[in-house]
Every structure is written in C-alpha cells, then in structure tokens.
Amino acid sequence: MPLSEHARDHTLDIAVLAIYLVAVVGYGCWFAWRTKTSEQFMSAGRSIPGWAVGLSIFGSYISSISFMANPGKSYKDNWNAFVFAISMPLAIWLSVKYFVPFYRRSGHLSAYEHFEERFGAWARTYAVVCFLLTQLARLGMILYMLALAFEPLVGIDVKTIIIVSGIAITLYPFLGGTEGVIWTGVVQSIVLVAGVIVCLIAVMLELQGGFGELFKVAIENNKFSLGKIAFAEPNATLSQVWYANISQSTFWVVLVMGMVTHLQNFGIDQAYIQRYVTAKSDADAGRSVWLGGLCFIPLSAAFFFIGTALFVLYVHQRPGEIPVGTKPEGVLPYFIGHELPPGVMGLVLAAVFSAAMDSNLNCCATLYLCDIHRRYLRPNASERESMMALHASTLVMGALSILTALGITQINSAALDIWWKLVGILSGGVLGLFLLGVLSRRATSFHAAIGVIFGAVVIVWMTFSPIWKTRLEANNMAWLVSPFHDNLILVVGTLTILLVGLAVSRFSVRQTRDVRISSGENLETIQEPAT
C-alpha cells in the first residue's frame, strides 16, 4: 500500500538525486580540459571506443519521452507503439551496411555538407534547419516529461523545474563538448537501466497475484495487442480496406513509421551520425550502432510492461486512486512519488534525469559552426572565434529548448502522439532528399527542389487538414481532409520527395531526348545529364 503523504520524507531521495546530478554534470564538464579546439569539441579526436559510442547512442534513443510516454501509452491503450522498436533490426542492418561507411568515408563533421555537394547550398541549409527545429521539439518534450516526473517529489511547479533542468542539461555539453556528451551518456545509460529494473520490480511487488494476475487482466483487456494486423475485414470494399489501413495506427503503420524513423536517425540525423563518426575505427562505428539499437528493444519492452502493470494496479486493483485529470504519462510519476521507499525513489528519479540529459546541444552547435557560421558568415573564422560560436550556439539552443518546453505545457494531449507528429512535420522528409541524391544519378538541384516543394505541401496538408475538418465539411470540401494517420506524416513526406524527384528527373531526361531527336541529332550523341 502507498505510504501516506505525512509519513514520507524526501530528504534522502533529494540527496541521492543531488549527488547524482552534481557527479554526472561535473563529469561531463571535466572534459573541458580536453576540448581546447573546435575540432576536439565536435569530434572528440575520433578516438572513442565502439562500446562507449554504442551506449551513448542507446542513451540518446531512451529519453524522458520514452520513460514517461511509453508506459503512459500502454497504460491508456496497448502495445501498438512497441512495434516501433520491433522495426529496429532491419533498419540497423541497412544503416551499418550503407550509411555508416558513407559518412565515415566523407570525413565531414556535418551530416549535411554532402547535400551541398550533390544539390547545392539550399539543400544543405534546408536539412540543417529541419534538424534544428526537430531538436528544439525533442528537447522541449524531454524537459516537459522530466518536469512531470519531478513535480510530485519536489513540490515545485512544472515551469520552474523545466527552467532549472534546462540549465543543467545545457551546462555539460557547453563545457565538455562531444567527448563529454558521449562519456556522460555511458554513465547515464547504466543508471537508466538500473532505474527501469528497480521500477519494474517495485510495480510487480505492489500487484496482488503477481505475473499471473497481470497477464490475466491484461489479456482480458487486450492490453498486449500490437495493433490491427489483418489488412481487410470480411466483405469490405477496396476503398474501405484502403482507408482502414492508412487512417488507423495499425501494426503495419507503426512498423513502416518505425523503419523510416530509424533509417532517418542513423542516415541523416546529426545526433547519431556525429556519434559514430567519433568512433576510433569503422568496425567500432558499426558495432556501436548495433549495440545502441539492440539495447533499445528490451528496454522499450520493459517500459510498455510497466505501463501494463500500472493499468492492472490502478484500474483494476485500486480503482479511483489516481487523481482525476492525471494524464497517461503522469501515471508512472505518480507511482514513483507514492509507492517507492526513500532512497529508491531518488535512484529512479536519477534514472529519469539520465534519460533527459542527452541534450544533443553539441550537435546543434556543430551544425551552426559548420553549416551556417563558416558557410555564410565567416568562412575564415579563427579558432578562437569558432570556439566562441560553438559555445554561444549551445547556450542559444538551450534557451530555446526551455521556451519550447514551456509552450508544450499548454498542450493537452498524449505526449507520445505529440512527439511523433512533431517528428513527421519538422523532419521535412529530409531522408527522401538524401535517398534521391544516392539512388538517382539523373536528379539535379532543380529536380530535388521540386520534390521538396511537393513534399512540404503534402506534409502541411496531412498535418493541418484534419484540424480544418469541420470547416471543410461545412463547405462540402470533406474530400480535402487527409485520410492518413499522423504516424504516416514522416513516411509519406519522405516518399513524396523521393518519388516526385525521381519522376521529374526521368521526365526531364526523356523530354530532352525527344527535343534532340526532333532536331535531327544522332541518338548516339545523346548523353545522360552529368551527376
């Protein structure tokens, strides 16, 4: 049974948490003495062992979004969102085979420098802007979820916690650079796993009937469902089958979304690319991706299992205990604040903070210096100026992340749904632009720009037409409402850029060939456009 509020003394918990925070932030800042140059700040001397990079990648995948939102999702619904993790192995294999060697050979610290070499400066800048906006949304969501967990313990309002924690996760990448981020990520990953294990054991100890009762109640309520798998219902028309499979978060929708998201993370996301580029060898880089990705799957399952156990505990065994108005992602923080004994709560909250401390601000600073400052403002920036730019951009992105988190507090919706929707919008289908450049030798800057324009229009349509649904229906324009589920925004946006770019490039080649033929030019002299 939960301890009464009067019986609880959080002094030990706060002490454990404070010791951890001081130690881990101090450890990250300690690497400041090794980051005397901009190259060291961004690449850590390209000498990090693969296992450390892998744990850092794993820690980056498990944020406070995962810690709070995944249990909230299985508490409220089922395990449909876990399909996101199931899609990981194939994406890892493709990434290690193609993406890791590509970036390791390029030697670039920016993941988007090759976009300019292939399509021009606009493509590079477009990719950078999309990444920075996505990171603002990510960091804002992480700080928000962290504040939800801490509020019941410290009794301070969410906004104050966001500001204080935002300053904390800005400090160590500001001083320690990429090396500090990676090695701090190793510590964070270990503490994170320990916290999840403790949380899982604690939930099971509270359940009456143990695993047997949990599985019985969960199966009766279809809580382990991975989502609809059948493509068609009996006697359904073709249009009904089509709509049913794109308008709902089915097994296949989440699987495809997960595959595209993982490929995007390892293929065009600066936060992951900058990590495996720092590995001391190509073999270490490949192993780091495998280690980080495969560790994510069982821990993700643990999060969903915790959410299911909380459903059995608070909906079936203790109905009415959760305060009215508590969001799904607030159920685990309630459990942490009311069920865990002193000291143990501090450890779990340290794990929650570990999940939030992977800020990626060093990656944002790297992009600012390489793709904006040196590209457009000061091509011949001195070493001193470069370090100043890295430090200043880290602080600015940290401040903007805090403001984003404060804005998210005003949104009344499930956190995981918000996050996946933001990823679909802000990623801008950049993976499609990357694939277009790799898969088509015909595609030029013009063809890529046409693809991006179409992709942006489709993303805007899929995002906002459902919001305008009532107004459109009132004007007999219901056909303009997107039938696609929000989880498909990233998928459809990526495919639109790729397929439109391929189609336009092929049409342009064919049109050029037809004009030359009509003018009497010999077929043998017609060349394909240069890459």
pLDDT of residue 424: 65
Q: What is the pLDDT of residues 102-124, one digit of tens each?
A: 998 887 888 898 899 899 999 99
What is the number of helices (H) and of strands (E) in the chain? 25, 0
Of 5-14, 273-282, 477-486, the poorest mean pLDDT is in 5-14
Q: Which residues contact 45 (CB under 8 A, 6 or more apart)?
A: 39, 179, 278
- State the average pLDDT for the chain: 84
CB 135 within 8 A of CB 265: no
Cβ-based burial of 408 (10 A; exposed 0-12, middle 13-18, buried ≥19): buried
Interaxial angle between packed helices 121-154 and 11-30, expressed in degrees from 0 to 180 and rounded to the nearest 10: 150
Calpha distance 335→322 (Å, rounded): 9
For the chain, the first-to-last Cα distance in angstroms comes to 68
Number of Cβ atoms within 10 Å of the Cβ of 324:
5
Give the contacts of 217 (CB within 8 A, at least 6 positions apart): 223, 311, 312, 316
pLDDT value of position 415: 57
Residues 89, 458, 244: CA angle, nearest 5 degrees:
65
**Average confidence (pLDDT) over 391-411:** 88
- What is the tens place of the pLDDT at every residue in 244-273? 788 888 899 999 999 999 998 898 889 899
Per DSSP, the residues of 388-410 read: HHHHHHHHHHHHHHHHHHHHHTT
In the block, which residue shows the tokens 């279809």? Answer: 222
Query: What pLDDT is recorded for position 514?
Result: 53
DSSP string, 284-336: HHHHHHHHHHHHHHHHHHHHHHHHHHHHIIIIIISTT-SPTT--GGGHHHHHH
Residue 522 has pLDDT above 50, yes or no: no
Amino acid at 519: S
Is residue 2 very low, low, confident or very high in pLDDT (cuts 50, 70, 90)? Answer: very low
Q: What is the pLDDT of residues 424-455, one digit of tens each?
A: 677 778 899 999 998 888 889 999 999 999 99
Tokens standing for 137?
A: 């949304």
Q: What is the pLDDT of residue 123?
A: 93
**pLDDT for 291 beyond 60:** yes
Indicate the length of the chain as a whole number.
Answer: 531
Q: Residue 137's pLDDT is what?
A: 84
Q: Identify any residues that bridge with 48 across adjacent strands, giving them in sequence order.
A: 279
Give tens-digit pLDDT for 319-348.
888 888 788 888 888 898 888 888 888 888
Domains and CATH numbers, the chain: 5-408 (1.20.1730.10), 428-531 (no CATH)
- Name the residue among 517, 360, 408, 391 with its Cα closest to residue 68: 408
Most confident of 40-44, 171-175, 263-267: 263-267
Instruction: Name, in order, each residue with C-beta under 8 angstroms of 20's C-beta and a sequence gap of 6 or more.
Output: 191, 346, 350, 353
pLDDT value of residue 251: 93
pLDDT of 529 > 60? The answer is no
Q: Which of 260, 430, 277, 263 is nearest to 366 (CA)?
A: 277
